[in-house]
Structure formats: C-alpha cells, structure tokens
Amino acid sequence: MSDFFNNGWAVFVGAATVIGLLWCLWLLWVASKREVMAADNSTGHVYDEDLVEMNNPLPRWWAILFVLTIVFAFAYVIVYPGLGSLPGQFGWTSVNQYEAEQQKAGVLMTQVYAKFKDLPAAELRKSPEAMAIGERLFINNCAACHGSDARGSKGFPNLTDTDWIHGGTPEKIEESITLGRQGNMPPMAAAVGTPEDVRNVANYVLSLSGSPHDGIKAAAGQSKFAVCAACHGPGGKGTQALGAPNLADKIWLHGWGEDAIVEMVTHGKLNVMPAQGGRLLPEQIHVLAAYVWSLSQSALPASPASQ
C-alpha cells in the first residue's frame, strides 16, 4: 500500500475490507433466519412445471465452514497487511521476503563461486566448469542483446572479435558488466557544415577503412573530419577512454555505407548497456567477464612461439 498518495485511500481499503467481511456474516445470519414461505417448505417458485425451489436451510457443515473462513479472513488481515496501510502484527511484506530469499540465495551462490573468486581470467579460461557457468550466465543475462553466439547484431557489439569500444581486458569487461556503459554520439551535422560537407566526411570515414568510397568527396571531407577527430582521433582509430569506436577497421556497429554514416553524423546515437552490478554477485561477474574475454581470444592471431 506504499504507493497510496494520501491516507484516504488506505482508510478506504481498510473500511471496504472490514465492511465486506461483516456483510458476509450478516448474509449468513439472514439466510439462517429465513422463514418457510409455504406449507410444503418451498419458496413457491416452480420451474419447467415440476422443478420446485425448496427453502431448506444451509447444511450445517457448510455454514460452519463459511464462518471459519470469515474468522480466518479477520485473523489474516490483522496478522498480515490487508487493512490499508497497516503493516500487520507480523510486519511481513513481499519486499522483505524477496530480499531475504535473495540474501539466502546469495550466500549459497557465494559458496559455489568461492573457488573461482581469486583466479585470473587466463586460469578460468582453462576451467571447463568455470566456462560452463560463464556460458550459462551469458545466456541468461547477455544473450538477449548480444545473441546466443555473442556475435551481436546492428547496434549491439560483437563480443567474439578483437574490436572493443571500452577495452577488451578482463578488468575492463568486468567494469563494463558491473557499471554498464553509455555511448553518446551527439548530432554533429551543424558543426561539420553543409549537407554536402557531411557527405564528404562520410566518404572520408569510409576511406579510413579502405571501404568503397568517392575519392574526390573523401579528399574534400578530410579537413572537416577535424570535428570528429576530437573523439575518434586524427586517424579515426577511436579512443577507448571515451568509448569512441574505431572507424578504420571495417566494423560498423550501426550500419555500413555513406547513408548510414550521414545518418549517424546528422542525428547522433545514444546507446545504453544497463549495469548488472545490482543483479549479479561480484563473483558471478568475475566468471562472466572471464567467459566473455575468452570468446575473443580465439580471434587473436597465434603467437610466433605457438606457431
């Protein structure tokens, strides 16, 4: 009842509850006092010529059960919150019960994750048990956006490659999962110049990755790219500290091509990855981060020693 905006609603609910229970008692009392309306103990109503409505009293067991139900209801609203904003004698709330169950589950899960808590990601990657747990955590908490194969989709980063907007170390991944991320590309068309300037910049951005582009427009847009270089760097290779993507690697999070880049420069984009620190235990996030990190390790070139 905490969402009531004034006391009147709490009084209304409490009064309606009590009046309803008293009405049930009154109804039972009236039924028990009903007098016989005809000599043959019928109500005088006949249906389909031979179906006579009788006026027999309620069965005793039914009446007793009805009374016990009402007594139970009175006891319930006294013990538990049921009369408006009154908390009840037990002080029970669904929120308290939920928090208690979450705390109990947290203790049990902490015991499960205790052996993984202090292990680095490189060691966890070698543990089939840790990776199986990490995969299950990923499926339950991350796959809705990044896909069950972690390859993402338009607007949701691929976690199996080596392109990281905020950093791909286990520590950075753990930080991203815990605190969440917010990527904000403001509309930059006015700062770039005319619509033609925006298209020139788009072609210059395409040229950075060797993608198909108009060379003349790209040359004209190079000087205008200085507006973008503040975040993406002079060569467009991005800045992980700012969450500015690399524009020179042929990985396009929000779509490829001149029109897609013009759309981005003109209207901007706001991306939000929700924080999971309030939903998952630190031990869970540690294992999950190690699993996510392991997905990109197969994309790395083999070292000379391993070759």
| Residue 99 maps to a domain | no
The pLDDT of residue 3 = 55
CA dist., res. 27 & res. 54, Å (int): 19
pTM, two decimal places: 0.70
Question: In terms of domains, do 201 and 250 share one?
Answer: yes
Question: In terms of domains, do 249 and 174 share one?
Answer: no
| Residue 155 maps to a domain | yes
- 46 CB neighbour count, 10 Å cutoff: 11
Question: In terms of domains, do 53 and 11 share one?
Answer: yes
Q: How far is CA 85 from the centre of its chain?
A: 30
Residue 300: pLDDT over 80: no
| Residue 55 maps to a domain | yes
CATH of the domain at 213: 1.10.760.10
| Residue 85 maps to a domain | no
**pLDDT tens for residues 4-36?**
556 777 788 888 999 999 999 898 888 777 665
The pLDDT of residue 301 = 55
Q: Which residue has the higher pLDDT, 15 or 174?
A: 174
Mean pLDDT taken over the chain: 89
113 secondary structure, DSSP code: H
Cβ-based burial of 155 (10 A; exposed 0-12, middle 13-18, buried ≥19): exposed
The pLDDT of residue 202 = 96
Q: Using pLDDT thresholds of 50, 70 and 90, give the confidence band for residue 299.
A: low
Question: In terms of domains, do 175 and 281 share one?
Answer: yes
Q: Which of 7-16, 165-174, 185-194, 217-226 has the lowest mean pLDDT?
A: 7-16
Mean pLDDT (whole number) for 181-196 = 94
Question: In terms of domains, do 144 and 195 share one?
Answer: no
| Residue 89 maps to a domain | no
Question: In terms of domains, do 293 and 168 share one?
Answer: yes
| Residue 165 maps to a domain | yes
The pLDDT of residue 252 = 92
Residue 307: pLDDT over 50: no
CA dist., res. 253 & res. 271, Å (int): 11
Question: In terms of domains, do 290 and 156 share one?
Answer: yes
The pLDDT of residue 2 = 52
* H or E element at residue 42: strand 42-47
Question: In terms of domains, do 154 and 188 share one?
Answer: no
The pLDDT of residue 303 = 44
| Residue 280 maps to a domain | yes
The residue range of the domain holding 216 is: 184-273
Q: Which of 4-18, 123-137, 215-229, 279-293 has the lowest mean pLDDT?
A: 4-18
Mean pLDDT (whole number) for 193-218 = 95
| Structural domains of the chain, count | 3
Residue 180: pLDDT over 80: yes
Mean pLDDT (whole number) for 227-235 = 93
Please enumerate in sequence order all residues whose Cβ is within 8 A of that of 179, keeping only pairs 6 or more positions apart, or say none. Answer: 275, 277
Q: Using pLDDT thresholds of 50, 70 and 90, give the confidence band for residue 161.
A: very high
Q: Which of 55-69, 170-184, 188-202, 280-294 has the lowest mean pLDDT?
A: 55-69
The pLDDT of residue 270 = 92
Question: In terms of domains, do 269 and 279 share one?
Answer: no
Residue 228: pLDDT over 90: yes
Question: In terms of domains, do 75 and 19 share one?
Answer: yes
| Residue 92 maps to a domain | no
Question: In terms of domains, do 189 and 263 share one?
Answer: yes
Query: For 203-215, b where at least 16 C-beta lie within 10 A, e where not — what string?
Result: bbbbbbbebebbe
**pLDDT tens for residues 43-92?**
778 888 889 888 777 788 988 899 999 999 999 998 988 887 788 888 88
Please enumerate in sequence order all residues whose Cβ is within 8 A of that of 12, keeping only pairs 6 or more positions apart, or say none. Answer: 84
The pLDDT of residue 276 = 95
Question: In terms of domains, do 280 and 208 share one?
Answer: no
Domain finish residue from 63, 79, 95: 79
Q: What are phi and psi of 222, to 5 degrees?
A: -60, -45
DSSP percent split of the chain into helix, strand, coil, nearest 5 = 55, 10, 40
Q: Which residue has the higher pLDDT, 52 or 142?
A: 142
